Amino acid sequence: MLGIVGTIPSEEFPLVSGHITLSGDCILIAGHEIPVNRGTAALMAAAVATSEALGVAPPCGYLAGDIGRGKGSRMLYKCLTEELPGSHLQTLTFHYLQPIVHWHNRLQAALTALPVRPYLIADAGYMYVAKMSGKASLYDLFTPDVGELAFLADEEAPHPFYTRGFILHDEVSTPELIARAYRHGNAARNLIVKGNQDYLADRSGILETVDSPVEEALEAMGGTGDTLTGIVSALIDAGMNIRSAAPIAMKANRYAGHLTRPTPATQVMEIIHHIPAALADIMHKERTRTSGM
Amino acid sequence: MSLFGFLKKKIGQQPKKGGASARSDRGILVFENTSEVIHAERILKRESTHIRVMGPPAEIRRGCDLVIEFPLIEKLTILRTLKEASLTPLETVPISSPLLTPVDLFHIKDFGRHLMVRAANMKLTVDKDTGYIVNVSGGGCPDVPYLAQKMVGCTIDDAPSPNEIGHTLCGYALQLAYEEVKRRCSE
C-alpha cells in the first residue's frame, strides 16, 4: 500500500490518517473533506486518480494542519515514528513537512528498523530535510524542480533560500547540477527533475527525458509538480519499477496539463480531472510501443 | 565543550580573509526558530536598524534556521529593542567565518498577460493587466500552501505580504519574489 504524508494549510485541522478518496474537487480522508488546490492535497488527489485508473487500492494518507509553525509537522513525525513498526506500507511518499532534522533522523531510524523498508519518495520540505540531514542517499526517489535541484547540488546550502548564485545561475546545466548533487551525496538513488523538460536520472546521469507536450503556462501553476509526484508514487506502488514508472508519469502529467488548455491562472484540480484519460492514453501508447518492438 | 565554545575555537583557527576583515564590525544574532528571526527582523527594521537576515554559519546550521546580521557596535541597543518585544536571542556572536547569504538572483518569465518571478524555489505570478496574483508555486515548507491560499486572488497591493503571515524560509523567498513583482509592476 502507498502511504502519503504531508500537511494542509490550516491550524485547526487535526492529525488524521486513513484511506483517501476523491469527491468532486475535494479529497476525503477520515471523515474530512479537503479542497484540492495545491500541496499535499494535490499530490494525494493525483495518486488517488492514478490508483483508480490502475484499478488498485487507494492510498493511505497521514495529514495534519500546519501553516508553517511546525506544530502539525511535529505531530506527524511523532505519529509515524510510533506507528511505522506496525504498518505494512510498500511505498511511502513524504511531502510538505517542516524540515526538522532531529525528527527526520528519528523517523529514519524507525524506517531502518522495519523488516522490509518501504520504497521511499521525498518531495518538498521533506526532501529538504533529507538533504540537510546528510541522509539523502537513503531515499529511493527525490522529485525536485530545477530550483530545488540547484539546492541539492549546493553542498553548503541548508535550504533553497541559500543556494549560491554560481550554482543557481541559468548557465549551469541540469546534467551538471545532477552530477554535483550525487558527487556530494545529496541526491536519492533516483531523481525526477521537473521543469520545461522532465528528467529521470541516477548517479550515472540522465536516463530519460520527456519534453512534450509543451505547455509553458504549467511552470507558473501551483501543484503541477505535486501531481507528478502523486502519479509516480501510485505507479511505483502498483508494482512498476522506476525506469518504467517515471516516463509514464512524466508524460501523463504533461498530457493531463495539455488537455486543460492551461493559462498561468489555471488551477491544479483541472489537471487532476484529466489524469485518468491521460494515463490511459500514455499507457496504451507504451503497450503498443513495447509490443511492436 | 559548548556549541559556541566550539565555534569560538573554529573562529580562532581560521585565517583572516579579505572579505572577512571588511565585515568584522558585524555580528550575528542566533535565534531558536525562524519565526523568531522574522519577528526580530520586523521589529529591528521598524527601528531603522541596519540589519539583514542571512544563512547561519555551517557550524550552527539547523533545520529552516536563519540568523540576523547587525552592527556589532549597536549590540546593546539591539538587545534592548528585542527584549522589549519579548525576544531573546540564543547567542550573539561576531562574524568571523564565511556566511551564506539569501538568494538574490531572480528568474523572470513573461507570458504576455502574466508575469512570473522566481526567487530561489518560490514563484509568484501576476496578471499584468489587473494586478491580481494568479498563482503561487514552488517551495516545500508548510506555509507555502497557506500563503498561496491567502494571496492568490488578491491584487499585489492588497495581498498580505509573506513577511507578515509567513513563517519559514520558503515564506521569506516568496517575500523576495513578491517585492520584485511589486517593483516591476510599479515601473
pLDDT in tens, A179-198: 999 999 999 999 999 988 99
User: Which CATH number applies to B3-94?
Assistant: 3.30.70
Residue A291 neighbours by CB under 8 Å, 6+ apart: none
Q: What is the pTM of this model?
A: 0.82
List per-residue pLDDT tens for chain A, 293 residues long: 999 999 999 999 999 999 999 999 999 999 999 999 889 999 999 999 999 999 999 999 999 999 887 889 999 999 999 999 888 899 999 999 988 888 999 999 999 999 999 999 999 999 999 998 889 999 999 999 988 999 999 987 777 877 888 888 776 799 999 999 999 999 999 999 998 899 999 999 999 999 989 888 777 777 889 999 999 999 999 999 999 999 999 999 999 999 999 887 788 999 999 999 999 999 999 888 877 65
Domain boundaries, chain B: 3-94, 106-185
From the number of C-beta atoms within 10 Å of its C-beta (0-12, 13-18, 19+), residue B25 rates as exposed
Q: H or E segment at A29?
A: strand A26-29
pLDDT, averaged per 10 consecutive residues of chain B (187 residues), comes to: 37 34 62 89 83 77 70 66 89 57 81 90 92 91 92 95 82 89 88
Torsion sign, CA atoms A52, A57, A59, A60? positive
Whether residue B24 lies within 8 A of chain A, CB to CB, comes out as: no
Asked whether A143 and A121 are in contact (CB, 8 A), the reply is yes
- Residue in chain B nearest A162 by alpha carbon: B102
Interface of B with A in 45-84 (CB under 8 A): 55-56, 58, 61-65
Domains parsed from chain A with CATH numbers: 2-291 (3.40.1190.20)
Q: How many CB pairs under 8 A join A and B?
A: 179
Backbone angles phi, psi at B67, to 5 degrees: -130, 165
Which one of A73, A146, A159 would you mutate to disrupt binding with B, by most B Cβ within 10 Å of its Cβ? A159
From the number of C-beta atoms within 10 Å of its C-beta (0-12, 13-18, 19+), residue A115 rates as exposed
- pLDDT at residue B15, as a whole number: 35
Cell 494525494 belongs to: A44
Task: Please tell me whether residue A274 adopts helix, strand or coil conformation.
Answer: helix
Which one of A74, A101, A162 would you mutate to disrupt binding with B, by most B Cβ within 10 Å of its Cβ? A162
User: Which CATH number applies to B106-185?
Assistant: 3.30.390
For residue B60, the distance in angstroms to the closest alpha carbon of chain A comes to 11
Asked whether A87 and A199 are in contact (CB, 8 A), the reply is no
**Farthest-apart Cα atoms in chain A, separation:** 54
Nearest CB to B135; choose among A10, A68, A220 = A220
ipTM, two decimals, is 0.90
